[in-house]
């Protein structure tokens, strides 16, 4: 699982970026002590309405303004090219 360190204020923006990539299978958010705060399996083409409770939880975490680690499990069958 890939791990990305991010400040609380940037948490929501980074998650938006990762979800838009389209090849994310699972996202895990951990606090600085390594405790899992949120573990979210994602399906391809997840609808915005399905993610509403997720974004509410992310907003609460971001308000705490601490550093987080985002664990990202990618779908190996999907290749995404980033724009230059």
The per-residue pLDDT for 71 is: 86
pLDDT tops 70 at residue 56: no
Q: What's the fold here for domain 2-74?
A: Dna Ligase; domain 1 (3.30.1490)
Element (H, E) at 57: helix 52-63
Whether this model's pTM surpasses 0.85: no
Average pLDDT, the chain: 75
Q: How many CA atoms lie within 13 Å of 23's alpha carbon, on the beta-carbon side? A: 11
The per-residue pLDDT for 51 is: 61
């Amino acid at each position: 699982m890939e791990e990305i360190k991010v400040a609380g204020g940037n948490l929501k923006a980074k998650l938006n970026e990762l979800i838009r990539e389209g090849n994310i299978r699972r996202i895990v958010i951990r606090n600085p002590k390594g405790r899992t705060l949120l573990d979210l399996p994602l399906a391809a083409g997840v609808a915005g309405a399905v993610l509403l409770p997720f974004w509410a939880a992310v907003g609460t975490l971001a308000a705490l303004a601490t550093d987080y680690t985002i664990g990202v499990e990618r779908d190996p069958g999907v290749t995404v090219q980033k724009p230059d």
